[in-house]
């Protein structure tokens, strides 16, 4: 088996050039350092110069068909923007309807970079009383539709408004969400999918998911990791996700086992709200700790970053409040040399978010999440299709978010929420 330091060097070879990885210190903590040059980006820094007149949202709608949701915004210039809703949106429709449109309607989009901060302080809707994933996810869907419309207005893909494009292809890892069946069957399936995707990195699920130290099934974790390393070999980057399965002592025990198999990161070893517990685990292990999927609070982000609770930051772009707020968090992490690898188990139009972010973010991690399974057949038809080839996904060039939804399908969708700006 390869030396851990050599393996991690391979695992991070495609990381943005600004990052360098240091050797282990005497306590076994794996520290990352980065150049201070070009480590932050400032989205929409010159946007007010591109639009001489105010541009506002005059209508926000949420469309539905076959359990699919699509947010449509209409700007004052008549341009429409679209964003697909994720699985969480269906459970938070009331929050979306009552809080989100009233914020966006008639607001000058030349100030879009500050919207996520203004939304936090939007006392007219008492947003602070509803803080957390449900409200920020609702906000993010609308923001994405607005960004789509902005890009269509300027004729540019939204990445051009976020920063300088430094990547035209995004390296991906094949992410499996499965904890059922036999470990050997799971790894055989994942190997077949990686052969199709060309992926050189994978992520597998360990533990039982928020399971208080219980495994998915007896021997699942140990057999899964062992089989993965035997099947994929030493040159494959293996990530694992525990989904908060363990308490601190058990998480450390599992972490020691993972170190034996050169696992490149260990995601959510303890329950995600336990950021102090996460740091305790990180302090005891050399395997890099990743986390942040469910997190939305900027004060907690700051604590986790400053106190090195995690080595790799994993905000979910929708859960965390959209592209612009996620860039803000990534910039915070970049000051401390912590890379960002978003939580994004998607292979659908929602992936346009990570493609835009990945194109411009200097502190992007080595590989970005890509759902290993085939896309669902009942999804909203769209072009261009999000596909991985040779372990990479091309960034999008089309205006807006880069995605066009089938207009005939959209016409069949039922408006379940429709809000207009008052004249």
Residue 97 lies in a domain: yes
Clarify whether residues 101 and 222 are in a common domain: no
Q: In this structure, what DSSP letter does residue 158 have?
A: T
25 and 88 within one domain: no
Kindly report the backbone phi and psi dihedral angles of residue 280, in degrees, each rounded to the nearest multiple of 5, phi listed first. Answer: -60, -40
In a domain? residue 231: yes
Judgement on whether residues 214 and 360 belong to the same structural domain of the protein: yes
Tokens of 140: 């993010």
Same domain, 325 and 407: no
What is the number of domains present in the chain?
Answer: 2
Alpha-carbon separation of residue 113 from 139, 168, 276, 291, 346 (angstroms) = 14, 24, 31, 25, 25
What gap in Å lies between CA 137 and CA 73, rounded to an integer? 16
Three-state secondary-structure class, residue 240: strand
DSSP 249-278: HHHHHHHHHHHHTT-SEEE--B-TT-HHHH
Spatial distance between the Cα atoms of 84 and 148, rounded to a whole number of angstroms: 11
pLDDT tens-digit profile of 33-56?
443 434 789 999 888 888 889 999
Distance CA 414, CA 306 (A): 46
Q: Which residue has the tokens 């879009």?
A: 112
The reply to whether 98 falls in a domain is yes
Judge whether 291 and 309 are in contact, CB under 8 Å: yes
- 233 and 287 in a single domain? The answer is yes
Would you list the DSSP string of 317-331?
TTTTT-HHHHHHHHH
Q: Please report, in angstroms and rounded to a whole number, the separation of the first and last CA atoms in the chain.
A: 69
Domain of 295, CATH number, reads: 3.20.20.120
Q: What are the phi and psi torsion angles at 185 (to 5°)?
A: -70, -40
Helices (H), 175-318: 183-197, 220-232, 248-260, 275-284, 298-306
Statement to judge: residues 63 and 175 lie in one domain: no
Q: Is 42 contained in some domain?
A: no
Same domain? For 33 and 76 the reply is: no
Confirm whether 254 is domain-assigned: yes
Does some domain include residue 94?
yes
Evaluate whether residue 213 is within a structural domain: yes
Q: What is the DSSP letter of 52?
A: S
Q: Are 324 and 113 in contact (CB under 8 A)?
A: yes
Q: Within this chain, do residues 257 and 113 fall inside the same structural domain, yes or no?
A: no
Instruction: State the residue for tokens 């469309």.
Output: 63
Tokens of 419: 């809000």
171 and 112 assigned to the same domain:
no
How does 276-304 read in b/e, with b if 16+ C-beta sit within 10 Å? ebbbbbbebbbbbbbbbbbbbebeebeeb
Give me the residue label for tokens 């060039």.
397
Question: pLDDT tens across 257-294, in order?
Answer: 999 999 999 999 999 999 999 999 999 999 999 999 99
Per-residue pLDDT 10s for the chain (423 aa) are 434 334 333 343 333 333 333 323 322 233 434 434 347 899 998 888 888 899 999 999 999 999 999 999 999 999 999 999 999 999 999 999 999 999 999 999 999 999 999 999 999 999 999 999 999 999 999 999 999 999 999 999 999 999 999 999 999 999 999 999 999 999 999 999 999 999 999 999 999 999 999 999 999 999 999 999 999 999 999 999 999 999 999 999 999 999 999 999 999 999 999 999 999 999 999 999 999 999 999 999 999 999 999 999 999 999 999 999 999 999 999 999 999 999 999 999 999 999 999 999 999 999 999 999 999 888 999 999 999 999 999 999 999 999 999 999 999 999 999 999 987
Segments forming the whole domain that contains residue 125 = 47-159+403-420
How far apart are alpha carbons 220 and 224 in whole angstroms?
6
Which pLDDT belongs to residue 36? 42
What the block records as the tokens of 54 is: 């105010």
Token pair in block for residue 342: 């978003």
418 forms bridges with which residues in the sheet? Answer: 61
- The string of pLDDT tens digits covering residues 125-163 is 999 999 999 999 999 999 999 999 999 999 999 999 999
Q: Are 28 and 4 in contact (CB under 8 A)?
A: no
SS3 at position 73: strand
- Taking Cα atoms as reference points, which of 416, 417, 403, 413 lies closest to residue 66? 413
323 contacts 295 by C-beta, under 8 angstroms: no
As given in the structure block, the two tokens for residue 371 are 């759902």
Contact 239, 261 (CB under 8 A): no
| Residue 192 and residue 148 share a domain | no
Whole-number Å distance between alpha carbons of 97 and 56: 19
* Residue 82 counted as domain residue: yes
* CATH for 67: 3.30.390.10
In a shared domain, residues 321 and 188: yes
The closest of 12, 17, 39 to 332, measured between CA atoms, is 39
Q: Residue 413 gets which letter from DSSP? A: S
For residue 5, the SS3 value is helix
Q: Do 241 and 385 have their domain in common?
A: yes
Angle between helices 183-197 and 220-232 (to 10 degrees): 40
């Amino acid at each position: 088996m390869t030396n851990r330091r050599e393996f991690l060097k391979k695992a991070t070879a495609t990381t943005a050039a600004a990052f360098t990885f240091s050797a282990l210190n005497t306590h076994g903590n794996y520290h990352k350092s980065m150049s201070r040059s070009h480590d932050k980006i400032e989205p929409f820094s010159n946007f007010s110069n591109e639009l001489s007149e105010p541009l506002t949202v005059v209508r926000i709608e949420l469309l539905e068909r076959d359990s699919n949701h699509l947010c449509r915004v209409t700007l004052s210039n008549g341009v429409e923007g679209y964003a697909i809703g994720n699985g969480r949106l269906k459970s938070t429709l009331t929050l979306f309807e009552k809080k989100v449109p009233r914020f966006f309607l008639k607001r000058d989009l030349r100030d879009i970079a500050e919207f996520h901060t203004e939304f936090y302080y939007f006392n007219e809707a008492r947003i602070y009383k509803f803080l957390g994933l449900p409200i920020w996810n609702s906000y993010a869907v609308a923001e994405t539709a607005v960004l789509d419309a902005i890009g269509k207005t300027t004729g540019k893909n939204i990445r051009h408004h976020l920063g300088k494009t430094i990547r035209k292809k995004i390296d991906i890892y094949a992410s499996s969400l499965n904890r059922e069946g036999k470990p050997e069957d799971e790894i055989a399936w994942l190997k077949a999918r990686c052969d199709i995707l060309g992926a050189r990195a994978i992520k597998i699920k360990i533990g039982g998911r928020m399971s208080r130290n219980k495994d998915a099934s007896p021997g699942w974790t140990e057999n899964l990791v062992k089989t993965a390393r035997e099947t994929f070999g030493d040159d494959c980057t293996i990530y694992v996700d525990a989904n908060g399965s363990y308490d601190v002592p058990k998480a450390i025990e599992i972490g020691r086992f993972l170190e034996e198999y050169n696992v490149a990161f260990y995601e959510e070893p303890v329950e995600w709200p336990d950021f102090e517990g996460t740091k305790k685990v990180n302090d005891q292990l050399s395997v890099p700790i990743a986390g942040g999927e469910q997190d939305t609070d900027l004060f907690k982000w700051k604590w986790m970053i400053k106190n090195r609770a995690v080595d790799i930051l994993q905000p979910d772009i929708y859960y965390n409040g959209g592209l612009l707020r996620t860039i803000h968090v990534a910039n915070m992490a970049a000051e401390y040399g912590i890379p960002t690898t978003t939580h994004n188990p998607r292979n659908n139009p929602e992936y346009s978010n990570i493609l835009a972010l990945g194109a411009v973010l200097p502190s992007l991690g080595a590989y970005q999440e890509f759902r290993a399974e085939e896309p669902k057949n009942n999804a909203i038809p769209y072009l261009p299709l999000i596909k991985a080839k040779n372990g990479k996904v091309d960034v999008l060039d089309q205006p807006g978010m880069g995605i066009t939804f089938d207009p005939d399908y959209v016409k069949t969708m039922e408006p379940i929420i429709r809000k207009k700006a008052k004249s």
